[in-house]
Amino acid sequence: MTEPQNKVVRALTGRIVSDKMDKTVTVLVERRVTHPLYGKVIKRSNRYHAHDEKNEYHEGDLVTIEQCRPLAKTKSWKVVALVERAR
């Protein structure tokens, strides 16, 4: 019998930009990368739909999201922790 492998879980931190859907939030994740040729540090961003079971997170909150099985056509992340409440 084989032992279960420890899965590497992808986790990202970003700001919620929309909470208009039921049980779903849109999270904007920004990262800073160096331009390969010019060396200037530029911002790159991605938006992820994340599952919020109790509708407890709102626009402006900083949250940590974690990859999970696909829950809908565009939703394969879930919110796992609140980092900072919106002001």
How would residue 1 be classed by pLDDT, with cut points 50, 70 and 90? Answer: low
pTM: 0.86
> What domains are defined for the chain?
11-54+62-84 (2.40.50.140)
Q: CB-side exposure of 5: number of CA atoms within 13 Å?
A: 3
pLDDT of 83 higher than 90: yes
pLDDT at 3: 66
Contact 49, 14 (CB under 8 A): no
pLDDT at 8: 82
**Assigned token pair, 62:** 């900083």
- Give the model confidence (pLDDT) of 33-74 as tens digits: 999 999 999 999 999 999 999 999 999 999 999 999 999 999
